[in-house]
Amino acid sequence: MIKNRRNIRDDGKEKENISKDFMQQLLELHWRGDEKNSLSINEVKALLLDMMVAGTDTVPTAVEWAMTELLCHRDKMTKLVKELDMVVGNQNTVEDSHIPQLVYLDAVIKETLRLHPVAPLLIPRVPSKTTVIGGFTVPKGCRVFINAWVIQRDPELWDDPLRFHPERFLETDINYRSNNFGFIPFGSGRRICVGVSLAEKMMALLLGSLVHSFEWGLSEGTKPSLEDKIGIVLKKTESLVGIPVARLPNLEQYQ
């Protein structure tokens, strides 16, 4: 795609005919030629890769973890289905306008991200000066990884921390942007993930639609695995395999 955009420019075609999307904005910074403000082609590729990895792999991974937990805890699945039926109804599909009313769905997503943070070590930080934190010296210029996976399972911060219990988020005002450093799936402070608002909506729409539109089962004698494999993105060791059965009355709702 980058090559095609560069060919269009080299052919002398009018820039106005090119979509001013994110890639085009980056390429124009590359073409600017200003040493202080321009981007190298490697920097353009790195930024595009960051956007792809952060925006396309994380949401489906989080929803797969949520579905796994719900299939392991049928009582939670039933409670979520009841909320979706009450708020959305069986004549509609899940829309943006429903999300603020789906408080249990929000709690399920938060509890999923607490137990299975998609970015378990967040994004590396580099301190601009040597600092002492908690009695430990953090040298200037070192690379710091924050282990959100361990923090969010800390028994000193959470009651029964290994239990999947979305109700804990109904009893508190903890959210992604609060100053509660025991819950940091998107990081915190000024460097919090810039895509947190988009991720909230995407996860709610995707998970809500899957649970609202289908009844989910498993192959006989099987149980979803909760084992994970550590990496930049926290994935399941074994992919979830579920069996969906349509539960809405009108087939046009599935188009």
Do both 15 and 140 map to the same domain?
Answer: no
Q: Mean pLDDT lowest for which of 34-43, 150-159, 161-170, 176-185? A: 34-43
**Dihedral of CA 87/89/94/95: which sign?**
negative
Domain membership of residue 49 (yes or no) is no
Residues annotated within the binding site are 193
Residue 50: pLDDT above 80? Answer: no
The whole-angstrom separation of Cα 132 and Cα 134 is: 7
Residue 19: pLDDT above 70? Answer: no
Do both 148 and 233 map to the same domain?
Answer: yes
Q: In which band, very low, low, confident or very high, does the pLDDT at 12 lie, cut at 50, 70 and 90?
A: low
* 83 contacts: CB under 8 Å, gap ≥ 6: 102, 103, 104, 105
Do both 118 and 221 map to the same domain?
Answer: yes
Q: Tell me which residue range forms the domain holding 150.
A: 54-254
Q: What is the mean pLDDT of the chain?
A: 91
Residue 18: pLDDT above 90? Answer: no
Question: pTM of the predicted model, to two decimals?
Answer: 0.83
The tally of domains found in the chain comes to: 2
Task: Fill in the amino acid letter for 199.
Answer: A
Residues annotated within the binding site for heme are 193
pLDDT digits (tens, 9 = 90+) for 188-229: 988 888 789 889 999 999 999 999 999 999 999 899 999 999
Q: Is 233 exposed, middle or buried (0-12, 13-18, 19+ CB in 10 A)?
A: middle
Are the C-beta atoms of residues 201 and 98 closer than 8 Å to each other? no
CB atoms within 10 A of CB 125: 13
Q: In which band, very low, low, confident or very high, does the pLDDT at 13 lie, cut at 50, 70 and 90?
A: low
Domain membership of residue 108 (yes or no) is yes
